[in-house]
Structure formats: C-alpha cells, structure tokens
C-alpha cells in the first residue's frame, strides 16, 4: 500500500526532471529513453518511469513507437513550421478572448508576470529563473481566455517551441533583437485592450524566434 501511495510522487518527480532535461537540451533531440536506464539513474521502479514517459508523450515532449520505444522527438524544420503555425492560431484565439473577457485579476497577473521577468537576469545556458519567468509571462497572457482547453494547448505548444529554442542554444540570438522591448510592447497593448495590436506583436515575437531557430538548425546541419 505504501508503494501505491508513493507512486504518484515518484512519477511526478520523474516528469519534472525529464521535462527539464528535455527542454534544456540536456537530453538531446532524437535520444532514446530506455526505461531500465532511467530507473537506475532516477532511483525509482519501472512503473513510475513508464507513467512519467506516458505523461510526457501526451504533452508532445516524448514519442513512443512499438519499434523504437520512447524517444525525444527530433528537431526538424518541418515540425517547427507546423508548431509555429499552430501557436499563432491558438495564441490569437486565446489572447483575443482574454482581452475581451479578462478581468482585473488577469490584468494584474500579466503585469506582475512581466514585472518579474523584466527584473530577471537572462540565462542562455538552461531553463534557469529567466526561462521560468518567460514561460510565466506568456502563460499569463492567455490565462484570461475562458476556454481551459485552449489555455492548456497554448502552454503545451509553448513548451514544445521552447525545446527548439533552448536546444538550439540561441540565447539572445544570432540576429540583433531586443526581447525585453518586445515583451514590454506586448504588455502595453494587452493592458490597453487592443486585441489587434497585441496579436500582431505576439505573432511577430513568435515568428522572430522561429526565424532564429531555423538559422540555428540550418547552421548545425
């Protein structure tokens, strides 16, 4: 009974650790995730490891097939194009609904998330504080959307895109870019309840990252 009670704790911890390693690039794209090896490394049994891998598969951060088992999805330009297209469409739906229906608490959440992000030092070498606060700011923007499914999909797609950005080790980027100014402009447009301008700025923000990732993937080939 004790093992059954502890199983969710072990699997949740495994999800967090493997998710961080995949997003940071510590586990490379295309890497095979062998269950027995993970059991040894994480110090847990087969059941919670498989449960963690199944959860990460549902989140799109791991792939599973009968032939290859569990693997990290490869970094692929065609997949990146599909991912970016999906992000643009869902971000727009979420942001427009948030601006139309978000309350004062949503505004405060967005403002606070941006304030914390603007005060953080950027860490291009891994997830770090800046990366977590960056994710929080983008999540805050869509959290005012009334559809929990759309919000969840937006956050899931953000993680998938973050994997590309971090694995490519873009940091500030190979092309001059003021990310802080981009975030500031998005914030102001959202607080002004200007949906068209917020969507335009957010789309440009995502597309700039897409362009930098493409540069990095092409350069590494």
Comparison of pLDDT for 220 and 142, the residue scoring more: 142
pTM beyond cutoff 0.85: no
Within 8 A by CB and 6+ apart from 221, the residues are none
∠ CA 132-133-135, nearest 5°, is 65
Which DSSP category does 146 fall into?
S
Q: Which of 91, 8, 87 is nearest to 55 (CA)?
A: 8
Q: What is the mean pLDDT of residues 38-47?
A: 93
Q: What is the mean pLDDT of residues 47-53?
A: 94
Model confidence at 3: pLDDT above 50: no
In whole angstroms, give the CA distance from residue 19 to residue 75.
16
∠ CA 29-140-175, nearest 5°, is 50
CATH superfamily of 77-220: GntR ligand-binding domain-like (1.20.120.530)
Q: What is the mean pLDDT of residues 71-97?
A: 95
pLDDT number for residue 131: 85
In CATH, the number for domain 2-71 is 1.10.10.10
pLDDT number for residue 1: 31
Residue intervals of the chain classified under CATH 1.10.10.10 are 2-71
8 Å CB contact between 189 and 198: yes
- In the chain, pLDDT over 70 holds for what percent of residues? 88
Backbone dihedral angles phi then psi of residue 193, each to the nearest 5 degrees: 60, 35
Digit-coded pLDDT (tens) for 145-171: 999 999 999 999 998 998 888 755 544
pLDDT category, 174, cuts 50, 70, 90?
low
Model confidence at 6: pLDDT above 50: no
Q: Which of 91, 81, 97, 111 is nearest to 203 (CA)?
A: 91
């Amino acid at each position: 009974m004790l093992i059954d009670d502890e199983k969710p704790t072990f699997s949740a911890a495994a999800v967090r650790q493997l998710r961080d390693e995949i997003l940071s690039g510590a586990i490379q794209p295309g890497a095979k995730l062998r269950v027995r090896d993970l059991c040894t490394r994480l110090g847990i049994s087969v059941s919670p490891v498989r449960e963690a891998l199944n959860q990460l598969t549902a989140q799109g951060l791991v792939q599973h097939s009968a032939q290859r088992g569990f693997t990290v999805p490869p970094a692929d330009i065609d997949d990146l194009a599909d991912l970016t297209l999906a992000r643009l469409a869902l971000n727009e739906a979420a942001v427009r609904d948030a601006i139309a229906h978000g309350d004062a608490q949503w505004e405060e959440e967005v403002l606070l998330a941006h304030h914390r992000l603007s005060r953080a030092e950027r860490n291009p070498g891994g997830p770090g504080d800046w990366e977590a606060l960056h994710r929080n700011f983008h999540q805050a923007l869509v959290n005012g959307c009334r559809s929990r499914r759309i919000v969840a999909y937006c956050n899931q797609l953000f993680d998938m895109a973050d994997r590309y950005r971090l694995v490519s080790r873009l940091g500030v980027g190979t092309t001059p870019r003021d990310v802080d100014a981009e975030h500031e402009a998005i914030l102001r447009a959202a607080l002004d309840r200007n949906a068209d301008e917020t969507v335009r700025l957010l789309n440009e923000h995502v597309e700039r990252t897409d362009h930098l990732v493409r540069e990095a993937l092409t350069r590494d080939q």
